[in-house]
Structure 1
Amino acid sequence: MAMQLAGFDIGRFLAEHWQKRPVLIRNPWENWHNPLDPDDLAGLACEEGVEARLIVRDGAGLSVEQGPLPEARFGKLTDDPWTLLVQAVDHYVDEVAALVEPFRFVPNWRIDDVMVSYATDGGGVGPHFDQYDVFLIQGLGRRRWRVGPRCTSATPLLPHEDLRLLADFDATEEWILEPGDILYVPPLFAHDGVALGKDCMTYSIGFRAPSRAELIDGWSGHQADLLPEEDRYADPDLDLQANPGEITASALDRLHAMTIEALSDRDAFVRWFGQYNSLPKYAEADWRPEQPIEPAELRGLLAEAAPLYRNPASRFSFIRRTGDILLFVDGQCFECAGEVATLAEHMCEAPVVAVDPALAASQPVLTLVAALIDQGSLTFDGEA
């Protein structure tokens, strides 16, 4: 069961703070409780395929160790402040995944994952800035957060192989967060969090925002892969030039038009972006069954109203078109119409999907659900 926010004005937040300025939200939860034990977080950091980092303060510097970490490492830590960071914990722990639900006033396609940090007294990752929006939820203990001005790619950084730390940090605001408090930080704002006392846990819900460079690189590369070799510059109306060294305006116009025309197909861009954006960040969370689901078994489970569970590492989204929708799941595109489109929209709404038992008689529904189960995006087993 997802914890709910009480007394949080979403409309006001979006109008006054979203991508504009930081804001502290004092414990807005109806009944806050820390959803993950520190020992369980340490256990995750020791597992293969889980992205984790251990950051230890040694004098004035910070050292970084990449996971997976050996279990014995935690017993060898000294009194020096340290921080453990584990990415995508929502992919492994249902209670952490539930933290995302109250923030779905931001479209699903923008949600990245939940990073969880544990820090001892004085632990932190140093002053830095991120390229994405983040809600920093204090889960356990206390942390002092300082926030500074907006940064840019030209903002000076300290030399460090693993961390992008600010060379100069002048805080403009400062807060101490207690369990349940939330600090929202928009992209590019400098910030620095330091644990106050032992057992400090913070849950960072991050949101994706593709850069213009990423979009251009991905979209142009996709289109280039589809073009035939014979699609080349042509000039059958070539005239004699006064100087053969000149690249004429007419040639440049034709070259530019070739490029723009290849990238201006909006329908093709729509399909490409849906697939690109739905690619899983961590493909290691593999729910593919050993054998494809049998049609009779699938019909029986749907007829019994068995709920379907989304793989927490999977990304579901859809784009509405006239008469149908395009469903995108883990880089795959499914064209859906009628009752299948309605079901596809429900799949994108919540992590657990209740299917009308009457749909067990629909072959298009069976085809879609079977494809999503076989590719590891859905399962009837909530413990998968």
Structure 2
Amino acid sequence: LAHFEPEQEFVLEPGDMLYLPPGYAHDGIAEGECMTYSIGFRVPARAELARELLMRVAEEEGDDDVPVLYRDAGQEAVDQPAAIPEQLHEFARDALERALREPLALQRALGEYLTEPKPSVWFEPQDAGVMLEGVALDRRTRMMYDAQHVFINGDSYRAAGRDATLMRRLADQRWLGSRDLARASDDALELLSSWCDAGWAHAGVYPQETP
């Protein structure tokens, strides 16, 4: 900001917020007894996203009960022992292709990555067994979905039918009322209760529900 020359100035009153599109230089100054905050929205870089997704897909592929090991029983003695054999290149290529071949592996990895809380984020467990008359997500909770899954705080769940519609509504509006919960299955209610126990959501009555 050594050579920053403002073209416009805005004075914000209590409760005001100023949105600046990406690429706009700005310099916020607190006047009087107040504080100024600049909040940015971080987007993943392509290389970072590829690295994270490949790591997660590889971890899922590595959950096999019987690991498949590279074998070169027919390899003859060589004069250049430091050279990587072509068969190992093929084995590595096949391993990567197999990891990406599972239809939903990439979708799961992406959803889990996008909803993974930052290391500095923690949740406070709630009292277990609270009656659910309504549910609201904790402000720190990240919840998203795709056509086959629901993702919350780095976990993924297969979802379909009425329960999937319910969970997507929770992700979009961040709360569910009593009428929503009345249509939930026992499994969905149990899952919501576990999220409340973990502090990911909070049970209560929400007056936003309209007749």
1:363 to 186, 192, 196: 186
1:175 is paired with a residue whose SS is coil
| 1:199/1:220 CA distance change after superposition, 3 Å | same
Greater RCO, 1 or 2 (C-alpha within 8 Å, sep 6+): 2
2:68 is paired with a residue whose SS is coil
Task: Provide runs of 4+ in structure 1 moved above 6 Å.
Answer: none
Q: What letter matches 2:18 in structure 1?
A: I
- Taking structure 1 as the reference length, the TM-score comes to 0.43
1:283 to 121, 124, 131: 121
1:310 to 137, 152, 156: 137
Contact 1:317 1:328 in 2 (8 A): yes
Per-residue deviation at 1:173?
6.0
Q: Following the alignment from structure 1 to structure 2, what is the Cα–Cα distance between the partners of residues 172 and 236?
A: 71
Contact 1:311 1:378 in 2 (8 A): yes
Q: What letter matches 1:342 in structure 2?
A: T
Question: How large is the RMSD of aligned CA atoms in angstroms?
Answer: 3.5
| 1:371/1:351 CA distance change after superposition, 3 Å | same
- The alignment status of 1:354 with 2:190, answered yes or no, reads no
Q: What letter matches 1:182 in structure 2?
A: L
2:121 is paired with a residue whose SS is coil
Contact 2:166 2:180 in 1 (8 A): no
| Gap runs ≥5 in structure 1 | 1-126, 128-168, 302-306
- The alignment status of 1:234 with 2:71, answered yes or no, reads yes
Percent of aligned positions that are identical:
22
Corresponding residue for residue 174 of structure 1:
7
- The alignment status of 1:257 with 2:94, answered yes or no, reads yes
Contact 1:309 1:382 in 2 (8 A): no
Per-residue deviation at 1:250?
5.0
| 1:373/1:274 CA distance change after superposition, 3 Å | same
Deviations 1:285-326 (A, max 9, x none): 42x223233xxx33xx3xxxxx322211111111113xxxx1
Q: Following the alignment from structure 1 to structure 2, what is the Cα–Cα distance between the partners of residues 372 and 240?
A: 58
| 1:205/1:245 CA distance change after superposition, 3 Å | closer
Q: What letter matches 1:311 in structure 2?
A: D
Per-residue deviation at 1:253?
3.6
Give the structure with the larger strand fraction.
1
- Taking structure 2 as the reference length, the TM-score comes to 0.71
Contact 2:115 2:153 in 1 (8 A): yes
Q: Following the alignment from structure 2 to structure 1, what is the Cα–Cα distance between the partners of residues 112 and 28?
A: 39
Q: Following the alignment from structure 2 to structure 1, what is the Cα–Cα distance between the partners of residues 142 and 169?
A: 14
Deviations 1:236-274 (A, max 9, x none): 554676755543545434433334433554511211222
1:206 is paired with a residue whose SS is coil
Give the structure with the larger helix fraction.
2
Q: Following the alignment from structure 1 to structure 2, what is the Cα–Cα distance between the partners of residues 346 and 310?
A: 12
Contact 1:360 1:366 in 2 (8 A): no
